[in-house]
Structure 1
Amino acid sequence: MDLTNCRSMELLRVLGLADDYRAQANAVGADANFDSVFVTSMGPQGRLLADWKIPSVAEQRECIKVHNDGSQPAEPGQRCSQIVFESWLKGLIISKQNLTSKFGWTYTGHIEAEDGVTASFIDGIGATRTVSARYLVGCDGGSSRVRLCAGIEMLGGQIPVQFYLVHFRSAELAQKLHFGRFWHAFPVGSGFLIDQDEKDTFTAHYPIPDAMAEPIDTREVVYKMLGGCLGKWEIKIDEVLVHSQWQPSFSIAETYCTETGRVLLAGDAAHRNPPHGGYGMNSGVVDAVDLGWRLAAVIKGYGGEGLLKAYGDERRPMMIRALQRSHRHVLEHVVLADIYGQVWDSLVGETSEADQVEALNRVKSYITTSGPETLDRGIELDLRYDNSPSIYPDGSPPVKWDVKRYTPSTRPGSRAPHVFLKDGTTSIYDLFGAEWTLIHFAGDDTDDGLDPVVNAAEKMSFPVKHVVLKGEEHARKIWERALVLVRPDTHVAWRSNKAPSTSKEAEHILQVVSGKMVLLDHSKSETHRQAGH
């Protein structure tokens, strides 16, 4: 993983962690670009075929500020290696006094009951351990043992291609980047290279031929990948940090939780997809935030079991949408590989100059038209949980969905739009509370009519921060309603232009959004039905 996308970053912002993460020593700096280059070879004889230009964090910040219309994320994405990201998160976990961390234990199985789960482990010295809890969450990757023990099937399978990954350091390569610094480089026919830190750390991904039987030499893999269609390019490798074989998959769990709702899945345990589009780890971050607040609500007592059952109802259709988009990106590379095969002689310089120019123009046209894979704002930001049983609908029609763009809306179920307030620096996201937030665009009246909501929340021990905004006409226009109830995951649960007239009405709304009640006319979305529920 090398991209924490804009959705993950704005969630980290709400948690107060975004700036700390960006400040990590091996995270890429704010002025580094997100460009991808397509070349015949990374070597000195290589030729640039085409590129995808994506602005730096600093440039994206400026764009977000200029286009303060609700269509932008609260934060740009961040280039950073998974190794750095996970190490940083682990440090945060260890530092928390209210968490118990056990690293080096191996999960061996669990027994599920109506009121909880007992899991068994082998600890670091080989002793058997058991842990009893109210819930068990399997975040244990694509080959999840928790999922297998829970009997949850994976739908889909692996792509019939394998890659060899080599994560390495090379000062010489860093000094000889003939096409300048980049994020991804795609030499013709030999996989791809990631510049992990704008310094000297890179990751090579090389497709392994089916007929390859001899042992794999990690350095040879790097040389072949760098050389592209012009033959291997040998540079000095200072250190091989990690190397492994991997196979991309398209698969999703049949359900995200067991019948009792005591065992749940998140991240790669629930879904697997190729790196194309950057939806894997980032979807896992959204899963974790979404599931985390639900578990907190249920354990604190104000949330009903319906919240946990709604987790899969919300997240699974969105992941299917991401898988479909990732599949499209994969097919674009398959088509490009086919084009390379047709013009191979021209790419290696064995045809006339006219044929070479024609081949280069054909390749460039396809790559440019295909466009970058990591600017799908519809997939990243326009996550819609509008037909979730824990969303209170208002009967308004949905806005048109576009894979490339996010159209701001506070229609219940939608991600709440980011917008800067009148001071130009405060995002409305910065006002959200630790759990629920009621955004109130108020007039000058002293009586706001919210006593029923306040009384119902107190009665239910429902944790909500009341944010009153006066004179914020621009934000009010984008947010569409005077009252908007925002969940801990920044999705809208309810909205209206007027407060509930009675405490009973307010309590009914809060019972629905907290999973204690389902509306009688609730029906699952078309996407949800197509997903096999």
Structure 2
Amino acid sequence: MNPDVVVVGAGPVGLLLAAELSLSGVSVAVLERLTEQNQALKAGGISGRSTQLLARRGLAARIAEESAKYGEGFASFARERAASGVDGRPRARFGGHFAGLPLNAESSLEIPPPAVLPQQALERLLGAWVAELGVPVLTGHEITGLTQDADGVTVHARTGGGVKTIRCAYLAGCDGGRSTVRKLAGFAFPGTDPLTTGYQATLTLDPAVPLPTGWHVTGRGLYAHGPKPGRILTVEFAGPPADRDAPVTRAELQDALRRVSDTDVVVTAVDSAARFTDNTRQAATYRTGRVLLAGDAAHVHPPFGGQGLNTGLQDAANLGWKLAAAVRGWAPDGLLDSYTAERHPVAERVLENTRAQIAIMRPDPHSRAMRALFAQLLEADVTLTELLGARLQGLDIRYGVSPWPHPLTGRYLPDLAGLAETPRPILADRTGSTEVRAVADGWSDRVDLRRLPETPGVTALLLRPDGYVAWATDGTPDTTSLREALSTWFGKPR
């Protein structure tokens, strides 16, 4: 087996990347170290932008069906929270939180509906999809070495049957925050060391000692109960854990909850639990030769705001079509490097805002004063709320400075009829121009020509496979700039 691309890691990011490559006609294999799914508590849902991305691939019905299995607990929690406030402030409609401070209910920010979908459920959903696409996912394959040259990468993996050697054109590391691929390929991974110990868990509490729901700041740190009954999060500022990998015990969780909540809460059972810290790091580049990184392999940070999984899924969408273009030989110069150029700043901002959240979570008087001021700003300044909400949801992303100015260029295009559920680039035109059709013919082997639905302020646009606009116009299409955009993003014409 010598596929075009080997993806290491069968989590949601690796599976989505494998699907993107397969849909673009690239042979791909996924190698996964584990033989069974990791059941440690992880993300509890995906953002509206991620649901839009997966809907473009025809997965909307599956997501809705799977999400319905988990939504009632969240719905009952939301109804309970609607009746009262946190820190004396009114409850906000769901738009995320910043360091436990809910965003202003009066915000006019349009947030696409998220999906209540635990990470393991999303992983199973994507795994079934990848299997339908015929992509092999090889479990029990632990990467032990790699070498690359001008023509490809040689990968060595330890399996139950011995060491296996696989040759591929490109290798993608989607193997998590402790990525073996990142270490073996020599990526620099600078950042800041942890100051905290945190726990996430789903557990059962003795009702005789109730634990209030919502986010609560205390003298030792903070804790959250929700967004469904029995799901808790704690953060303490006494340094990192002595052994992050040791099993999390019921007694350990109970002690942490009692310390931070200053109650005699009793934990009677634990369904799932995990430790985390505020270790915050980012690969200096996402590409070294023919080895690339995506998801937690490229960036790690604390889980506040649920940004990690969604950032990784968007990494995969951005990388997939570009890597496929490189494999198939039509990628213009610089296309694959634009993956780092576009996605590195996005994760950099995620790291920045999670560090800022840590800063206003700390229990010292100066940080608490800053937190109080920040809470007042959130309540009073709608513009600031919209800024933070857009950042947490990834709605404010605009890629690059385009030589073809239009308000949509570089931005995500909301789903339009006829322009979704395809992994191929789309040239959408409402003018019916014969000149546009003639230009499009040169790229018809890789770009679909579609009719643009009536859209205010735009008469034609070029849509990338990840849903972002590469070129747009609000008048008669300029075929010169259109040719330039097609060549820049999708290579030379036939």
User: Does 2:476 correspond to 1:498?
Assistant: yes
Aligned to 1:523: none
**Which residue number corresponds to residue 466 of structure 2?**
489
- Pairwise CA distance, 1:204: 3.7
Distance 1:48 1:384 in 2: 33
Partner of 1:247: 277
Q: Secondary structure at the match of 1:384?
A: coil
CA distance in 2, matches of 1:216, 1:438: 52
TM-score by length of 1: 0.69
After the TM superposition, which residues 3-402 of structure 1 pair with which residues of structure 2 at under 5 Å, given as runs? Answer: 3-24=45-66, 26-29=69-72, 31=75, 49-50=87-88, 53-55=91-93, 72-73=110-111, 75-93=112-130, 95-123=131-159, 125=160, 127-163=162-198, 165=199, 167-170=201-204, 172=206, 179=212, 182=214, 189-195=220-226, 198=228, 201-207=230-236, 209=238, 218-227=249-258, 231-243=262-274, 245-258=275-288, 260=289, 262-304=290-332, 306-334=334-362, 337-339=363-365, 367=375, 369-370=377-378, 376-378=389-391, 380-387=394-401, 393-395=403-405
Shift of 1:18: 3.5
Aligned-pair CA distance for 1:383: 1.1
* Cα distance between partner residues in 1 of 2:194 and 2:79: 26
Contact 1:276–1:330 under 8 Å retained in 2: no
Structure 1: how far apart are the matches of 2:242 and 2:441? 71
TM-score normalised by L of structure 2? 0.74
Aligned residue for 2:50, secondary structure, equals helix
1:440 aligns with 2:469: no
Number of aligned residues: 425
Partners in 1 of 2:374 and 2:388 — Cα distance?
Answer: 17
Distance 1:188 1:428, change over 3 A: farther
Other-structure match for 1:466: 450
**Residue pair 2:205, 2:266 contacting (<8 A) in 1 also:** no
When residues 98 and 146 of structure 1 are mapped into structure 2, their CA distance, relative to the original with a 3 A threshold, is same
Q: Gaps (5+ residues) in structure 1?
A: 38-46, 58-66, 344-361, 397-408, 419-426, 518-533
1:475-509 deviation line (CA, Å, top 9, x unaligned): 32xxx33111110111111122333447xx75443
Q: Cα distance, 1:386 vs. partner?
A: 2.0
Tell me the amino acid that sits aligned with residue 493 of structure 1: A
Structure-2 change in CA distance of 1:382 and 1:488 (3 Å): same
2:40 aligns to what?
none
- Is the Cα contact below 8 Å between 1:191 and 1:207 reproduced in 2? yes
For the residues of structure 2 that align with 1:269 and 1:52, how far apart are their CA atoms?
Answer: 38
Q: Once the 2 structures are TM-superposed, how far is the Cα of residue 28 of structure 1 from its aligned partner?
A: 2.6
Deviations 1:111-166 (A, max 9, x none): 1111111111111x251111211110011112211111111101213222233x35
- Residues 211, 225 of structure 2: 8 Å contact kept: no
Contact kept? 2:141, 2:158, Cα under 8 Å: yes
State the structure with more CA Rg: 1
Q: CA deviation at 1:51?
A: 5.6
- Match for residue 442 of structure 2 among 418, 433, 456: 456
Residue 514 (structure 1) aligns with: 490
Q: Is the 8 A contact 2:196 2:240 kept in 1?
A: no
Aligned partners of 1:370 and 1:135: how far apart in 2?
Answer: 45
Distance between the aligned counterparts of 1:285 and 1:55, measured in 2? 25
Q: Which residue of 1 aligns with 2:28?
A: none
CA RMSD of aligned residues (A): 3.8
Task: Find the aligned partners of 1:385 and 1:499 in 2 and give their Cα distance.
Answer: 22
> Matched residue of 1:78: which SS?
coil
Q: Secondary structure at the match of 1:376?
A: helix
CA drift of 1:5 comes to 1.7
Letter in 1 for 2:279: S
Separation (CA, whole Å) in 2 of partners of 1:431 and 1:172: 51
Kindly state the Cα deviation for residue 213 of structure 1 after the two structures are TM-superposed: 7.7
- Tell me the distance in 2 between the aligned counterparts of 1:500 and 1:26: 49
Shift of 1:331: 1.4
Could you list the per-position Cα deviations for residues 348-394 of structure 1 after superposition, in whole angstroms to 9, with x for gaps in the alignment?
Answer: xxxxxxxxxxxxxx98776454568995214511212124xxxx521
Contact 1:120–1:128 (Cα < 8 Å) also in 2: yes
> Following the alignment from structure 1 to structure 2, what is the Cα–Cα distance between the partners of residues 211 and 321?
23
CA displacement at 1:106 relative to structure 2: 0.8
Task: After TM superposition, give the deviation of residue 272 of structure 1 in Å.
Answer: 1.4
Task: Indicate conservation of the 8 Å contact 2:440/2:449, yes or no.
Answer: no
Paired residues of 1:298 and 1:305 also in contact (CA < 8 A) = no
> Is the contact between residue 34 and residue 53 of structure 1 (CA under 8 Å) also seen in structure 2?
no
One-letter identity of the residue aligned with 1:428: L
Comparing both chains, which one has the higher relative contact order based on Cα–Cα distances under 8 Å and sequence gaps of 6 or more? 2
Alignment match, 1:527:
none
State the distance in 1 between where 2:387 and 2:58 align. Answer: 24
**Partners of 1:21 and 1:378 in 2: CA distance:** 24
CA contact 2:153–2:168 (8 Å) conserved in 1: yes
Q: Which amino acid aligns with 2:236?
A: P
Secondary structure of the structure 1 residue equivalent to 2:287: coil
The CA distance in 1 between the partners of 2:45 and 2:241, in whole Å, is 31
